[in-house]
Amino acid sequence: MTGNNLIQIALIILFLPLLGFTVTLFLAKKVKKIFLFETFILIVSFILSVALVFFKLNYFSQTTFTGEVNWINLGSISIDLGVMVDNIAVLMIFVVSLISMLVHLFSIAYMHGDKRYNRYFAYLGIFTFSMNGIVFTHNILMMYIFWELVGLSSYLLIGFWFEKKSASDAGKKAFIVNRVGDLGFFSGILILFATYHTFTFDKIFHQISLGVIPFNSEFWLTVTGILIFAGAIGKSAQFPLHVWLPDAMEGPTPVSALIHAATMVAAGVYLIIRVFPILTGNALEFIAIIGALSAFIPATIAITQNDIKKVLAYSTVSQLGYMVMALGVGAYKFAFFHLVTHAFFKAALFLGSGSVIHAMHHEQDIRKMGGLRKKLPLTYATFLISTLAISGVPLTSGFLSKDGILAGTFAFGNLTGQWFFAFVGFLVALVTAFYMFRLVILTFHGEPRDKEKFDHAHESPFVMVMPLVVLATLSIFIWYTPNPFNPEQGWFLSKWVKAPTIVTPQDARYSFLKSDEIKPEANVPTVQNVPAQTTQEINGSEEEVTFSKTYTEAMEHAHIPAMMLSLGLAGIGILFAFMFYQWKKLDPDKLAEKINPLYKLSLNKWYFDEIYDATFVALTLGISKLFAWFDNYIIDGIVNGSAALTKQVSNFSGKFDNIVVDGVVNGAAYLSGIVGLMFRRLQTGKVQTYIVLVVFSLVIILFIFKSF
Amino acid sequence: MNTNNLNYLVNSLYLIKPELVISAIIVLLVLVDLIMLKNKKLLPYISIAGLLIAGYFIIEHFETNSFAFSTSSSAGMLIVDPFGNFFKLLIVFASILVVLFSVTSVEIKNSLDRHGEYYALIFGMILGMMFMASASDLIVIYISLELVSLSSYVLAGFTKQSLRNSEASLKYVIYGGISSGIMLFGISIIYGITGSTNLYEINSLIQAPQVQSLTFLLAGILIFVGIGYKISAAPFHFWTPDVYEGAPIPITAYLSIASKAAGFALLIRFIKVTFIQSIDPEGFWHLLSIIDWKSFIIIISILTMTLGNFAALWQSNMKRLLAYSSIAHAGYLLLGLAVMSNEGITAILIYFVVYAFMNLGAFFVVMLIANKIGSEELDDYKGLSSSTPFLAVSLSIFLISLTGLPPTAGFIGKLYIFIALIDAKMIVVAVIALLNTVVSLYYYVKVLKHMFLDKSEKEIPAISTSYASAVLLIAILAPVLVFGIYFTPLVDLAKSSITLLGF
């Protein structure tokens, strides 16, 4: 197994789903069972990604492989396309392939009987292909192309039941809101290309480390970073563009699990991870603020929502906000760690909700559920494990990753004196534990509130339960670290995921991210790129340094207090949830009345949709109305007012129009015709004419050229 | 004859292995035809096999740079170099497709008893075209040109049943005869002045300043008539529409690609080898000032494309329309030569590969339709999109590519020609070419309009295509789309193929 083999495997994994999509789409109507082919493709692709992860992490965990081809070579413009296989990419591809495969299996039962059954699987195929592209790309142009492709597949799947107006509206909303973010992303790419004449990440990083920055100003480097981040704001549904994600729940539930929880929405976080080395301190701070707002606002909304999928959707936005905030405060490793753990437990939660909805005959309102624990024991168990994970209860994966992020905000507070992010982080941890347990209790505990539906409910078939079990199992700590209280001791963080070398100018970074006296060697891009970390590893393998010694020490100090605090807060959240909904010691309705304005705010989702309707949508409509008014009154007014003059002029102008303008336009067409006819006239069909013409033209040519 | 000379000849034979294979296949085809009077199924297989072997030999020695049948150390009758090999490969490729077309063509099937001579004549043409691509001696040029012409005269009138076939063939003979006569006159003048027929020797002889420029101009232009007739450049194109319309479709497709490619190979080699003075580091040629080839080619190319495009506006017959379109394309291709630089030649090579796919594809669809409805009239294409969407969509893609719109390969071909023109600061010419493309859009889209928007008065039967034809069509269609997006291999191939021996 060599680097080339790994790249070949990566390419196969990348293109297999495309094959599945093409075949499934074209044979959708002819072959009833073609969805099995698509599912089979995904199983193969999962097996390959297991092989890829295994070989890469076991034998080449310090090496990055890239394979590229020259796509366009026009004069000074040269564009390469290629794939990059590093630890982050293989871990990500494992997550994507696994969840995609499980969702395929789940959908076999869940979507059964749908009239566009095969087409649904084809769409899943194109989505998986595009997502794989995002994961493997080694340049930002391909990133953008696949970025748009996942956007497209997301649009198709949200609006899959397009007969329902709300579904097709939600699809449109997702597409348009994402365009706003992509506009920024695209501008960022353009600035990068204009400055570096390449799209390849490595080459861009290398040039920045040599001090080449856009427009020779650190300000513009910050702007570029923020513009690229705008793409992530859209795709990862961050504040203020988060409004599309809850609506996207109109799509089939397995799609919500795959696209709108585990993978595509995480692509935004993945993008920031990829471009992390070029982000300046200011850009990172901006990112952290957006992340904190996105973590907080949706968490407060989730408390009052009654649609099981909407609660999960808001919690997704909130958790993504966590990851983004983690990146913003420099907790790079934990952001990626949380991305992975969140993908598993959130997919489990969504599929679990799918199982519930399936059992309840497409009832999504948790007020009408309750007591389902007895009817759906396996779904309940897996749902509970995942809920524990998302709430950050020990022995789960979520505890490990969330704790790391909280420690990161804590350390950030320690180092810079800004405690805002730590405050938000811990507050959200409390709220998350509360609303997630509210969801579990209302759905599974207590007495059934809709007796009829409850009686018909039954545990889902094997293909639906199996994915739940797999995903819930993956939400337990043991896969990531042997010590359930210290993720740093695990292989995931100590061996596989390393923070990258930052390339931005020293004085543009956070003070604690400045390089130590031992300057790591410049990251020279080669085909087999050895990251700079290796040099450090040889120097002192006992002491792992992330970014700088100061930062590493701060993280170590923050670990224990952050853990204790988050444990306590999660406990309080869970306790309150039980007090309110299980034991009924407290009445949620009374509380809601007491703090009515806040309750309304949360219930109405902070009025974001209303605000956007009143501002952007209204503005757009207003502008169009303004133009219409301008047209009707000003233009028409001028026209009417100058009627007299026009009358005089019109005679002349009419003639001018008829004779000169039309004459020119028609004349050009007419002339073309005439010329054509003339040429055609030459073609008499008589060979003697042709000969004469040849000899005649020969003489003319000679005459023209004889002077030379 | 001493042993040295004998070795020389044997070595030269090694260099022309592909041509020897083709010659052997001609004999084999005639023999098989004689022995198996009833069974003609074998002939296409032999043809394809022979072409594949020849293609293999060409690829094997692609990078060779050598004279064959040398008369001295710096001159020979033939040249084997990447440039020539590129065109030979293109010819072999086009021939394979045309043999496959012939198998499916109803027109050709109708004259089953003469299949032996049909394939033998095609191979005669191939042999001639291969020699055209590597000729460096005026005598070889003339003979190879005649070999191609004679074979194609017969092929153009191959299906004797129809009157328009025979008429086309006869016109072709008369017109071709006169053109080659004029060319021969030019050759004799050059021989009279220089005493040599070898292009390399002529080149070194006319470097001297006292050469009679008017006589040479006359000779050069007379020779151009012969070649211009092969590539159907205006004003020597008059035979093209009539012959294209009259000939069986596979032969029309063949004439529009292969013999045009061979003609271009010959023209480029003739002008570059005979008149070159020096090449500057940027790849621009400096020609001897005896003949102002640059202005000459520019005038001819503008004339050719304008005439082709405008005359095509009025055509109502698909074959005639494609005939005029192929004249126009010869004009675009000539622009690549008019640049007089290596970049321009690269553009021509890229364009030819692309052109081979899209033009053969278009003719193939026209043939599949004609097989069923027996007509190539545009009016009979009405409503084709609803009865046979597969063919309608394929034809549309080929026509869009011929227009030169992205994301098809035709766009890439035109793009490289235009870049070469702009790099050579020939902006005005580029604008004229661009306007011509706009004109061409009209008649290509007219076909699309007939297929997609117009309703037919009469009931159109769905045109069924066999699986083999569908696969072949997709195989031609795929590169047109793929090269429109990923064209680096094509560009690399072209860049590595512009080496002419001695430069």
Give me the residues paired with residue A261 across strands.
none
What pLDDT shows up at residue B53? Answer: 95
Cβ–Cβ < 8 Å for B327, B240? yes
Q: Average of pLDDT values for A210-221?
A: 84
Q: pLDDT at residue A508 above 50? A: yes
**Comparison of pLDDT for A601 and B398, the residue scoring more:** B398
Let me know: does B62 contact B80? Beta carbons within 8 Å. no
d(CA A664, CA A645): 26
Extract the runs of DSSP E, i.e. beta strands, from A490-537.
Answer: 528-529
Residue A598: its pLDDT value, please?
A: 76
Give the residue among A605, A293, A270 at the shortest CA–CA distance from A423.
Answer: A293
Contact B242 A683 (CB under 8 A): yes
Does the pLDDT of residue A534 top 60, yes or no? no
- What percentage of residues in chain B have a pLDDT greater than 90? 48
A520 pLDDT higher than 90: no
B265 touches chain A (CB under 8 A): no
- Measured between CB atoms, does A74 come within 8 Å of chain B? yes
pLDDT of residue A541: 40
- Bond into A520 cis (ω within 30): no
- Asked whether B318 and B376 are in contact (CB, 8 A), the reply is yes
Residue type at A476?
Answer: I
> What integer is the mean pLDDT of A675-682?
75
- Tens digit of pLDDT for each residue in B206-245? 887 776 778 888 898 999 999 999 999 988 888 898 899 8
Q: What integer pLDDT is reported at residue A101 of this predicted model?
A: 92
Torsion sign, CA atoms A394, A395, A396, A400: positive
Confidence band, pLDDT 50/70/90 cuts, at residue A515: low
Q: What percent of chain A has pLDDT over 70?
A: 94
Measured between CB atoms, does A680 come within 8 Å of chain B? Answer: yes
Pairwise CB contact (< 8 Å): A73 & B486 = no
What are the start-end ranges of the H helices in A617-661?
Answer: 618-629, 636-641, 643-656
With beta carbons less than 8 A apart as the criterion, state whether B405 and B411 touch: yes
More confident residue, B290 or B259: B259
Which A positions 480-539 lie with beta carbon below 8 A of chain B? none
Is B2 a residue whose pLDDT tops 70?
no
Q: In chain B, which residues have their Cβ closer than 8 Å to the Cβ of A75?
A: 419
pLDDT greater than 60 at residue A66? yes
Structure tokens at B403: 């227009």
pLDDT at A527 over 60: no
Residue A614: Cβ within 10 Å count: 11
Enumerate residues 415 to 444 of chain B having a beta carbon within 8 A of any beta carbon in chain A: 415, 419, 439
What pLDDT band is residue B479 in, cutting at 50, 70 and 90? very high
Beta bridge partners of A365: A307
Residue B73 phi, psi (nearest 5):
-70, -20
Chain A CB contacts of B241 under 8 Å are 683
**What is the DSSP secondary structure assignment for residue A200, as one 8-state letter?**
B
The amino acid present at A373, given as its one-letter code, is R
Could you give the CA distance from residue A293 to residue A255 in angstroms, rounded to a whole number? Answer: 26
Residue A528 clears pLDDT 50, i.e. is over it: no
Are B289 and A693 an interchain contact pair (Cβ–Cβ within 8 Å)?
no
The residues that bridge with A153 in the sheet, in sequence order, are none
Q: pLDDT value at position B503? A: 67
Locate tokens 């002029």: which residue? A649
**Partner-chain contact A705 B313, CB within 8 Å:** no
- Residue A680 pLDDT greater than 90, yes or no: no
**Cβ <8 Å between A75 and B419:** yes
Q: Which two tokens stand for residue A528?
A: 């087999």
- Helix B467-485 vs helix B82-104: angle between axes, to the nearest 10 degrees? 150
Number of neighbours of residue A31 by Cβ within 10 angstroms: 14
Cα–Cα distance measured from residue A398 to residue A382, given in angstroms and rounded to the nearest whole number: 14
Rounded CA separation A577/A292 (Å) = 23
Q: Give chain B positions within 8 Å (CB) of A677.
A: 314
- Strand, coil or helix: A445: coil
Q: State the smallest CA–CA distance between residue B287 and chain A in angstroms.
A: 13
Of B213, B296, B488, the CB nearest to A73: B488
Q: Do A693 and B238 make contact, defined as CB atoms within 8 angstroms?
A: yes
**Spatial separation of the C-alpha atoms in residues B225 and B331, rounded to whole Å:** 15
Question: DSSP labels for B237-264?
Answer: -THHHHHHHHS-HHHHHHIIIIIHHHHH
Give the model's pLDDT for residue A50: 92
The span from the CA of B63 to the CA of B61, in Å, is 6
Residue B97's pLDDT is what? 95
Number of A/B CB contacts below 8 angstroms equals: 82
Position A544 pLDDT exceeds 80: no
CB contact under 8 A, B214 and A706: yes
Quote the CA–CA distance of A619 and A613 in Å, as a whole number. Answer: 9
| ipTM of this predicted structure | 0.80
Partners of residue B214 in chain A, C-beta under 8 Å? 706
Nearest C-alpha of chain B: how many angstroms from A700? 11
CA distance A92 to chain B (A): 28
Provide the b/e sequence for B482-492 (b: ≥16 CB within 10 Å). bbbeebbebbe
Nearest one of B199, B252, B255 to B230, comparing CA atoms: B255
Residue A451 to residue A445: CA distance in whole angstroms: 14
Contacts of A476 (CB under 8 A, 6+ apart): A385, A395, A396, A397
Contact criterion met (CB below 8 Å) for B186 and B222: yes
Q: Which residues of B247-264 are buried (b: 16+ CB within 10 A; e: fewer)?
A: bbbbbbbbbbbbbbbbbb
Asked if B122 contacts B149 with a C-beta cutoff of 8 angstroms, the reply is: no
Distance from CA of B186 to the nearest CA of A (A): 12
What are A430-464's pLDDT values in tens digits?
899 988 998 888 888 888 877 777 777 788 888 88
Q: Counting Cβ atoms within 10 Å, is residue A64 exposed (0-12), middle (13-18) or buried (19+)?
A: buried
CA angle A264, A403, A263 (to 5 degrees): 10
Q: Could you tell me which residue, A228 or A533, shows the higher pLDDT? A: A228
B-chain CB neighbours of A673 within 8 Å are 313-314
For A95-114, the pLDDT digits (tens) are: 999 999 999 999 888 888 88
CB-CB contact of A338 with A402 (8 Å) = yes
DSSP A225-264: HHHHHHHHHHHTT-TTSTTHHHHGGGS-HHHHHIIIIISH
pTM of the entire predicted model? 0.74
Which is more confident, A681 or B102? B102
Cβ-count burial A377-392 (b if 16+ within 10 Å, e if not): ebbbbbbbbbbbbbbb
Is-cis flag, bond preceding A487, omega within 30? no
pLDDT at position A188 over 80: yes
pLDDT tens track for B299-354? 999 999 998 998 888 888 999 999 999 999 999 999 999 999 988 999 999 999 99
Cβ contacts of A693 on chain B, cutoff 8 Å:
235, 238
Quick check: B217 and A682 CB within 8 A? no
- Which uninterrupted H or E stretch holds A82? strand A77-85
Residue B255's pLDDT is what?
93
What is the full DSSP assignment across B46-93?
HHHHHHHHHHHHHHHTTT--EEEEEEETTEEEEEE-HHHHHHHHHHHH
- Cβ–Cβ gap A690/B239 under 8 Å: yes
Q: Give residue A533's pLDDT.
A: 44
In contact, B290 and B206? CB cutoff 8 Å:
yes
* Residues whose CB falls within 8 Å of the CB of residue B66, separated by 6 or more in sequence, listed in order: B15, B79, B80, B81, B501
CA-nearest of A443, A308, A439 to A375 is: A443
Taking a C-beta distance cutoff of 8 angstroms, is the pair A676, B313 a contact?
A: yes
For residues B128-151, give the mean pLDDT.
93
- Separation CA A344–CA A353 (nearest Å): 14
What span, in angstroms and rounded, lies between the C-alpha atoms of B380 and B391? 14
The vertex-A201 CA angle with A233 and A531, nearest 5°, equals: 115
Measured between alpha carbons, how far is A155 from A173 in angstroms, rounded to an integer?
Answer: 9
**CA-CA distances (angstroms) from residue A202 to A76, A139, A660, B249?**
20, 8, 60, 54
Query: What is the predicted pLDDT for the residue at A75?
Result: 65
Whether the Cβ atoms of residue A343 and residue A265 lie closer than 8 Å to each other: no
With cut-offs at 50, 70 and 90, classify the pLDDT of residue A537: very low
Q: What is the pLDDT of residue B282?
A: 82
Is the Cα torsion angle B416, B419, B424, B426 positive or negative in sign?
Answer: positive
DSSP secondary structure code for residue B332 in this structure: H
pLDDT tens across B57-78, in order? 999 988 888 888 876 767 788 9
